[in-house]
Structure 1
Amino acid sequence: MSSIKRGVSLYSFQNETFQGKMSLEDCVRTCAELGANGIEIIGEQTFWGWPEVGVEDAAVAEWHRLMQAYGTTPVSHDFMLDYKRYKGREMPFDEQVASVKNDIDFGARLGMKYIRALVSIAPEVLVAAAPYAEEKNIKILIEVHAPLHFDHPWIIRHAEAFEKAGSDALGFLPDMGMFLFAYPRVWKEKFLRVGVPRHIADYIEKAYEDRVLSEYVILNVQQMGGTGPAIAMAEVTRHNAAFEPKRMLDYMHRIHNIHGKFYEMTADYVEPSIPYDEIVAVLQKGGYTGYICSEYEGNRWIEDFEEPDSVEQVRRQQVMLARLLGEATVPSLKTPIAA
């Protein structure tokens, strides 16, 4: 059996938590029943008011109670630092560093090993915050997220800055959405529902499969008479690509957590657009021993048409991951979520 561990980002349950269908305890219990014992959060989702107002000790104590009660492990607090939209001005460097330190403190209160940094954050900010992260025994992981990838100049700049700083507190969190080998079916179906002609949608899907340059795809759609939603469907190809999972191998010494992005899990436990069999094989080859945390983002592509069942989708991905990791037990749920 693989030493890679399974977890869930509670971001996967955003529809259910926003609608009040799942409490934090429901989310944690669901993950535990699936054997996905690593819990990742977005602070703003799980703790209302963060980071504008502080989180009370009682809320943090309840978090730790849940972790102990269900045998789960805090993995990562995903923080934002949207410094471009801060009080109508760009946040100065020193304030950015202070903001990161605030999230380090919060992650430490929750018992997290990692905090996730948005890819837009400059490496100099993270390097400046690294000594404080070391003191708190936390690693800052910048998310490598499509359309960026491990050969992108911005990611290379981070890698060089991390190596120069020599701090073990700096690393990467790859998002598996950068390995989008097929145009997701739920995307295509959504664009069809909003008016994209079938022949144009079929062309875009095939062009993505053939790795046609996005600029040519957009131009061809325009020449086919596509407007509005059709152009938007073609534009999506600019922000996604089938990058190579094996590129993670050169950075494995700084990869400590994985976002198991997925848009759809079929009834036979397959993600049709992302090659998880190849991804898991690469991670095993690289000696990865951290978590793969399910991150369901298909909900936003279907909620105009049907009620998302995020729990079932996460269950299916956890079954797929357990199989790929060589686990003997099939993940299953014991406690249904009340409607």
Structure 2
Amino acid sequence: MGHQIKRGVSLYSFQNDTFLRKMSLEDCIRTCAEIGATGIEVVGEQSFTGWPEVGMPMAEIAHWHALMEKYGTHPVCHDFMLDYKRVKGQMMSFADQVASVKRDIDFGAALGMPCIRALVSISPEVLVACASYAEDKGIKILIEIHAPLHFDHPWIVRHAEAYEKSGSKALGYLPDMGMFLHRFPRVWKQRFIRNGVPQHIADHIEKAYEDRVLSEYVLLDVREMGGTGPSLAMAETLRHNAAFEPKRMLEFMHRIHNIHGKFYEMTEDDVEYSIPYDEIVAVLKQGGYRGHICSEYEGNRWVEDAEEVQSVEQVKRQHRMLCRLLDETMPAALKA
């Protein structure tokens, strides 16, 4: 194949199914194994009862390891939160933030994770303070580079400078492929129209996005067109999304250890409607990326008002695409 890129799934992709009790943790892991996506990423709060409020759920952790062995899967990443502004309505102290991150390092280590995902809002100073602890646990802390941020955003530059100054190999990046939203997602537009956006305003916003018009100008246009409520909300999405270039990852590849394979709609032809995965995978190959691309399906929230969410089918379609782009033999479960 000439590369060492591996396929995985963030179980966040199955959030509707798990919330509605249609899929258990075992169902999710079995589904991933069947399609050859053996790397498993989790959001602790979604997959482990009561975490982090009730402490380390040892019985569920043991069950997790049993499932890894049963299905031949392996841990990739624990996505942790740091609600540093929500403790008794006050900002957590620096020391408390560090202690909270260390707690998630311990949880990731207990799950056998090589990486944990840090929210992009966490300050670089907090993560640098945790770096040596993470090194001792064999964990890499990866800040998620998530739209509207990107590798040249001043906040991410601060992180990059702090990581290099620290000299720690435990600090890195987890780029979310939603940074590379080259078309306005069709499922977004359809949902906004169902929410009351007039067709001509929805068409204008979509065209403006594809023409890369500054979001503030688009908002002004929508107001002048008489748009209110849902129309302004649709226009606001332009503030939070952009079509950055995948090749920008190359400079940072030495610290990229996991990829969020964000997607909103896989078509029947196994192509993501709005994100150019052919370009993305080519860049990852060029840069010698050696980690996982973990599916992260977020189209569910855009279609659930109108139809049953087909998370498993959408994930399967993405992995058919990834098999093609990664020159992999397609598992039988993906051919069905």
CA positional deviation for 1:56: 2.7
1:53 shift after superposition:
1.1
> Over aligned residues, Cα RMSD in angstroms?
1.1
CA offsets 1:46-96 (integer angstroms, 9 cap, x no match): 002111111332111100000001010100000000101122110000000
Alpha-carbon offset, residue 236 of structure 1: 0.5
Structure 2: runs of 5 or more not aligned? none
Q: Which residue of 1 aligns with 2:129?
A: 128
**Which runs of no fewer than 5 residues in structure 1 stay unpaired?**
none
- Where 1:35 maps in the other structure, the secondary structure is coil
Q: C-alpha separation between the residues in 1 aligned to 2:72 and 2:182? A: 35
Aligned counterparts, 1:1-339, within 5 A: 1=1, 2-330=3-331, 332=333
CA distance in 2: counterparts of 1:60 and 1:315, whole angstroms: 27
Q: Distance in 2 between matches of 1:97 and 1:148?
A: 23
Q: State the percentage of identical aligned residues.
A: 75
1:147-178 deviation per Cα after TM superposition (whole angstroms, max 9, x unaligned): 00000000000000000000000000000001
Q: 1:144 to 1:262 in 2, by over 3 A?
A: same
User: What secondary structure does 2:62 align onto?
Assistant: helix
Letter in 1 for 2:75: P
Separation in structure 1 between the aligned mates of residue 168 and residue 88 of structure 2, nearest angstrom: 32
For 1:259, what is the secondary structure of its paired residue?
strand
Equivalent residues, number? 335
The answer to whether the 8 Å contact 1:47/1:55 transfers is no
Residues 218 and 234, structure 1, Cα contact 8 Å, conserved in 2: yes
**CA 1:280–1:20: 2 relative to 1, 3 Å:** same
How many angstroms apart in 2 are the aligned matches of 1:102 and 1:334?
A: 42
Structure 1 stretches of 4+ with a deviation exceeding 3 A read: none
SS of the residue corresponding to residue 333 of structure 2 reads coil
**Which letter does structure 1 place at the counterpart of 2:104?**
D
> Any idea what SS the aligned residue of 2:143 has?
strand
